[in-house]
Structure 1
Amino acid sequence: MAPAAARLTANAIAAVSGGDLNLKPVVQVVELKQVPGAAQERFRALVSDGSAAHQALLATQLNALVKARRLRRGSVVQLLEYICSTVQNRRIIIILNMEVIIPECEIIGNPSLPPEAEPVSQNVSSTNNSGSFTRETLNGSAGSDSNSVARLVSKSSANPANGAPSFPPTIQPSYKPPPMYKNRGAIMKNEAPARIIPIAALNPYQGRWAIKARVTAKGDIRRYNNAKGDGKVFSFDLLDSDGGEIRVTCFNSVVDRFYEVVEVGKVYVMSKGSLKPAKKNFNHLNNEWEIFLEAASTVEPCPDENDSIPTQQFNFRPISEIENAENNSILDIIGIVTSVNPSVTILRKNGMETQRRIMNLKDESGKSVELTLWGEFCNKEGSQLQEALDSGFFPVLAVKAGKVNDFSGKSVGTISSTQLFMNPNLPEADRLKVWFDGGGKNAASQSISKDVMPAFSQNLIRKTISQIKDEGLGRGERPDWVTVKATVSFIKADNFCYTACPLMIGDRQCNKKVTKVAGGNWCCDRCDKEFEECDYRYLLQVQVQDHTGLTWVTAFQESGEDILGCSAKELYKLKYEENDDIRFPEIMRRSLFEQYLFRLKIKEELYGDEQKVKITAVKAEKVNPSMESRYLLDLIGRHSV
């Protein structure tokens, strides 16, 4: 007799396969195998209540239990979340969540497969000469695009000595679950309303389903052209009362049916759509599936049950974590708006104009970040935030689905699915206000949005030129930032600048090298555009030295202007347009043998097949004798203690 802790729920298989999704039965795994030839790793199981057994397919989130050997043949488990679907006229249990009660146990009872799981042509009562008989089991199709379950033939021994279950042709009594809909008269088969399930339980193996959720975001209609012709598409995001999220997409004629019906903030019951794998390049929601509505799909509003579903769900990241976030990743942030720039008109590389507005956010992590608003965000939310700051208020701004950009530091920009919430009613917003009013307003914060040296104490990062090589600076995963006091000993006068593209890509200037074409215009290969005027940007090669040695550094636009004291465009005109042989060399000479405090970024990079350390001068400040004296006195004082 099985121990008390291993007692299985009587008649559980009949109840679950009959549609009872609230039982949460205790069953035993009598077989567990990986689905062969699967594009995505999946496991199938045979679960038993001691009398009957049934085929089951494990959701991918349960794979870790199998790999950790917590779930194996003989395990006694409690099914917490599951559904039962009919696939190719066979019933199969999809296990979404379970708890392992006993990791390993002797096979309990003498379970048999239900008649509907047996092949019609098979005589389950016939045995072979060894006393065993054959049976056919179901194998869940692991291909994520498939909506069916393949069949797999296996053999099991009936010898009790080896612990394997035998399968006598016992026919279990049919189980009749309570009706899941009101009695509204006679209806045809399969016309009963589909049972509402959580979004987290959706999977392609279900036949009929319905979900109730709130629309949290809605995209515009986009038009496209491909080999099949022209088309249109739009998407919207759903959130249910259990916190599950999923994206819904409509194409062509389905767009006409539902675009005007769906409104942000309203709750709907939705059914009869197909599930396909989510394209993570375009879908940031925490769900491996995406719903595609079809001609037979239904979307019905639920005006009376809005309070049970939240209006929005956030997964806020501190601004300090954005510094290590991947480029183009989508995330939620919240912070205090400390500055808002005016809205400006930007020419995109497709020739279309758009609006751009840049603002700054800071939070308790001690970091700040640039947030770039595009298009209509500039006029609506951007204007409201500007008015708040002009009135002396510093609003809290929550950003849902902002896109990370890592060009010249890290910044966050809006995209079509971004949502902005000014002074939201959230615990995180309340905490930020308390922090800001209690001293955070005057607290120093370091921007992660510019490619500048971190704001460490100057005394801690001062190095000599020889230390750059001796300490192997720049050879780690991240660049090293140091300050070096050095003298400019030589500047290469040739190729001191380049002609750059002035067009904007996203929220940054292109800056790619451009060439002159027939007709006098400039052309950018990246933007595939021509324009009358180009930009000029420094690319100085400067030799610097101190008492320990010398090295070459590269000075780009800002640091080049710091060293030479004029813009690259002015210097370019002197040399190449005015051919001024007096002023040009004079400007180059007057910076020689001047002492500067160079803020250096040091990073090893790959040139061809060779790794070389690249040293970039991010900032160059002429040495202030008074401040330098204070630094040296402080250094002497610390070493004499």
Structure 2
Amino acid sequence: MQPQDYGIVPGSLKELLSVKDNHKWQGKPIVAQVQNSKILQEQNTDKKYRLIVSDGAYSIHAVVDQNNNNYLESNGFSRFSIILLKSYTIAKTKKRVMIINDLEVKVPKADKISENAVPCDTYYDQNPADDLVAQANAKVVRQPQQQQQQQQQQPPANHGPICPIESISPFSNRWTIKARVSYKGDMRRWSNQRGEGRLFNVNFLDESDEIRATSFNEDADKFFELLQEDKVYYVTKARVVPSKPNFSNLSHTYELNLGRDTQITECFDTADVPKINFNFTKLNQIESVEANSILDVIGVLKNVNNCEEMTAKSTGKPFQKRNVTIVDNSNYAIDVTLWNKVAEEFNVPTGSVLAFKGVKANDFGGRSLSLTPAGNMVLNPDVNESYSLKGWYDSEGINESFQTLKVEKSAGNSFLNDRKSILQVQDENLGKNEKPDYFNTKACINYFKTSNIAYPACINEVQRGENVTTCNRKIIEENESTWRCEKCNITYNQPHYRYIINCSITDHTGQIWVTLFDADAERIFKKSADEMVNLKANDEHAFNQITNNLIMNEYGFRIKATQDSFNNELRIRFTVAGIFDIDYNTESEFLAKQLESVL
């Protein structure tokens, strides 16, 4: 929705502070959106709401008078609420602050109206002649402790105005952020056709948002030792560039390049800079997100598996993994995979609340989560969701049964959830929505396209964003003994194959074509892709015997339906997200209940 749809006038906050335009709003209420909200509470004092409010074009910091606390808490106030500012004053300390004396919550939960609201501080620092607040020289009484902190440390004189990370864009080049390093990656080497070098990444966090930054070569050497995880810095004169979603798990539209002109100074006044920001996804919503999406989740620890040492097929290197299960009050459970040192040192009692920032949604054998290298795990975090979950679990959740998002080897009770016939799938137009549709079905394989069941794949480990994964791109045969991956520029003496099979499945109501990938195909063939390709080349009779024996076998399928374009025509693509044997005891009980319901 547009700001005007909520009664917001873009530019009203800027005009309120303007010498020439202030008369338009003098004594009048203003409608604005809450861009960010934080509760401050010192020992033995009432809590105080600190906000950033926006008119869609400009934003300003604000503090709500504590007499409004009960009203806010009983009227659904939250981030992105639309509020009517009925009575307010403006003061200037280090930055312009609106003191909200009286307000009304118009829309408790609304869509975000703007990504690029310019801070009023930024505008008026660049246009001081029109700054009403500076000319009025408003007086503000500070607590002695605050006064002392501000005297202890100010941003360096050559820095621009302090700017919320949320407002960083290429359109403003004089800014400074005050931010915490929430993540620092290792120094890595890169190489491509233009040369080679070094780089590292950090994420900067403030109360408004989080942004990724990258530094290369000599600049990386300079900043790598200076920037330490969890410390706070002033950063200015970094280049603002469009973000690269394939290499970042953050939602900010832009990212920073830390270069020769970039200035970074450690800041010791850190109280107003959060340690971590969460944007939680409920467990029952994870199934509907795109595979490989990066999420934040919170849940109660239900189960902890042993730490396993495994060996990477592609490199032969050992690594450690551990699966833990979390649950939440949506009555869903999901596995989270931890890796290496985090997996080895995990020592958290069941019943504790765990928050994960930066987990990847996997689509292998149903839905599960994997903690990325840039991710964080926080035990019993100090957030409202944590207290709510702990109270729910201790009072009732500990005795609940939970639905799981993973696919078992056989179809038990969880398979019956969202189960549909093929005709139902077609009648309900599954796959035509903006997000993928998932469903379960019981069907028989009635045809394989056996002419091309696998492809030769690159097994080189590559960096994708913050993750190291196998390339898996198709490699090209250059001659009888040489295969090459054009992307990785690596050659192999022999190919390693991965399944990709198109097959037809049918039930009593209809038929659809589905695609089977490596793990699910290996489950039904009971052989690797390398073995089946070798069998087809050297003993086609044995190959045909295996595929023919699978025809009209009945399986449970977990299927993802999406819409794509082929030859300029829209079509529905069905991809197998899990395949498993039918549990006929459960199936019999299910059918008996269906019969009872119609008799």
TM class by shorter chain equals 0.5 to 0.7
Q: Once the 2 structures are TM-superposed, how far is the Cα of residue 383 of structure 1 from its aligned partner? A: 1.0
Residues 26-63 of structure 1: CA deviation (Å, up to 9, x unaligned): xxxxxx9979xxxxx9999435788xx9xxxx999643
| In structure 2, C-alpha distance between the alignment counterparts of 1:504 and 1:233, rounded to whole Å | 18
Partner of residue 402, structure 2: 444
- Are the equivalent residues in 1 in contact too, given 2:191–2:197 (CA < 8 A)? yes
Partner of residue 339, structure 1: 305
| TM-score normalised by the chain length of structure 1 | 0.56
Partner of residue 530, structure 1: 491
2:535 aligned with 1:574, yes or no? Answer: yes
2:52 aligned with 1:64, yes or no? Answer: no
| In structure 1, C-alpha distance between the alignment counterparts of 2:556 and 2:476, rounded to whole Å | 32
| In structure 2, C-alpha distance between the alignment counterparts of 1:631 and 1:331, rounded to whole Å | 35
Compared with structure 1, are the counterparts of its residues 145 and 232 closer, same or farther at alpha carbon in structure 2 (3 Å cutoff)? farther
2:587 aligned with 1:633, yes or no? Answer: no
Partner of residue 80, structure 1: 90
1:46 corresponds to which of 19, 22, 35: 19
Q: How does 1:545-556 map to 2 (within 5 A)?
A: 545-548=506-509, 550=511, 552-556=513-517
2:376 aligned with 1:419, yes or no? Answer: yes
Q: Once the 2 structures are TM-superposed, how far is the Cα of residue 410 of structure 1 from its aligned partner? A: 6.0
Question: Which structure 2 residue ranges, 5 or more long, are not aligned?
Answer: 1-8, 27-31, 36-51, 60-81, 104-116, 148-154
Question: Which structure 1 residue ranges, 5 or more long, are not aligned?
Answer: 1-31, 36-40, 85-93, 103-139, 154-171, 183-189
1:591 corresponds to which of 525, 529, 550: 550
Q: Once the 2 structures are TM-superposed, how far is the Cα of residue 333 of structure 1 from its aligned partner? A: 3.1
SS at match of 2:532: helix
Letter of the 1:299 counterpart? T
1:612 corresponds to which of 571, 574, 583: 571
Residues 278-336 of structure 1: CA deviation (Å, up to 9, x unaligned): 7544584879896969889573564xx77776654544443444445567765533343
| In structure 1, C-alpha distance between the alignment counterparts of 2:136 and 2:547, rounded to whole Å | 95
Letter of the 1:46 counterpart? V
Structure number with the higher helix fraction is 2
Q: Once the 2 structures are TM-superposed, how far is the Cα of residue 562 of structure 1 from its aligned partner? A: 5.6
| In structure 1, C-alpha distance between the alignment counterparts of 2:455 and 2:257, rounded to whole Å | 50
Compared with structure 1, are the counterparts of its residues 95 and 555 closer, same or farther at alpha carbon in structure 2 (3 Å cutoff)? same
2:323 aligned with 1:363, yes or no? Answer: no
Compared with structure 1, are the counterparts of its residues 290 and 587 closer, same or farther at alpha carbon in structure 2 (3 Å cutoff)? closer
Q: How does 1:305-454 map to 2 (within 5 A)?
A: 311-325=275-289, 331-335=295-299, 336=301, 338-339=304-305, 342-344=308-310, 346=312, 355=319, 357=321, 359-364=323-328, 365-369=330-334, 371=336, 378-385=339-346, 388=347, 396-402=353-359, 413=370, 417-422=374-379, 428=385, 432=389, 439-440=397-398, 443-447=401-405
Q: Once the 2 structures are TM-superposed, how far is the Cα of residue 444 of structure 1 from its aligned partner? A: 2.5
- Are the equivalent residues in 1 in contact too, given 2:411–2:556 (CA < 8 A)? no
Residues 191-241 of structure 1: CA deviation (Å, up to 9, x unaligned): 999999786899898989896x7654444456779999988666656667x
Aligned-residue CA RMSD (Å)? 6.3
Q: How does 1:450-529 map to 2 (within 5 A)?
A: 458=416, 461-463=419-421, 465-477=422-434, 478-486=436-444, 488-504=445-461, 506=467, 509-518=470-479, 520-529=481-490
- Are the equivalent residues in 1 in contact too, given 2:162–2:175 (CA < 8 A)? no
Relative contact order, higher structure (CA 8 A, sep 6+): 2
- Are the equivalent residues in 2 in contact too, given 1:79–1:95 (CA < 8 A)? no
| In structure 2, C-alpha distance between the alignment counterparts of 1:544 and 1:404, rounded to whole Å | 27
Partner of residue 114, structure 2: none
- Are the equivalent residues in 2 in contact too, given 1:411–1:449 (CA < 8 A)? no
Q: Once the 2 structures are TM-superposed, how far is the Cα of residue 633 of structure 1 from its aligned partner? A: 2.8
| In structure 1, C-alpha distance between the alignment counterparts of 2:252 and 2:525, rounded to whole Å | 52
SS at match of 2:56: helix
SS at match of 2:308: coil
Q: Once the 2 structures are TM-superposed, how far is the Cα of residue 520 of structure 1 from its aligned partner? A: 1.9
| In structure 2, C-alpha distance between the alignment counterparts of 1:245 and 1:549, rounded to whole Å | 49
| Structure of higher CA gyration radius | 1
Partner of residue 265, structure 2: 299
Q: Once the 2 structures are TM-superposed, how far is the Cα of residue 523 of structure 1 from its aligned partner? A: 3.1
Q: How does 1:107-146 map to 2 (within 5 A)?
A: none
- Are the equivalent residues in 2 in contact too, given 1:369–1:449 (CA < 8 A)? no
Q: Once the 2 structures are TM-superposed, how far is the Cα of residue 638 of structure 1 from its aligned partner? A: 1.2
Partner of residue 14, structure 1: none
Residues 422-478 of structure 1: CA deviation (Å, up to 9, x unaligned): 565766556656656665487334237999999756286242x55554554444443
- Are the equivalent residues in 1 in contact too, given 2:307–2:343 (CA < 8 A)? no
Q: Once the 2 structures are TM-superposed, how far is the Cα of residue 384 of structure 1 from its aligned partner? A: 0.6
SS at match of 2:237: strand
Letter of the 1:363 counterpart? V
Compared with structure 1, are the counterparts of its residues 632 and 286 closer, same or farther at alpha carbon in structure 2 (3 Å cutoff)? closer
Q: How many residue pairs get matched?
A: 504
- Are the equivalent residues in 1 in contact too, given 2:200–2:215 (CA < 8 A)? yes
Give % identity. 23
- Are the equivalent residues in 2 in contact too, given 1:347–1:504 (CA < 8 A)? no
Residues 369-399 of structure 1: CA deviation (Å, up to 9, x unaligned): 55455xxxx44322111xx38xx85765433
Letter of the 2:90 counterpart? L
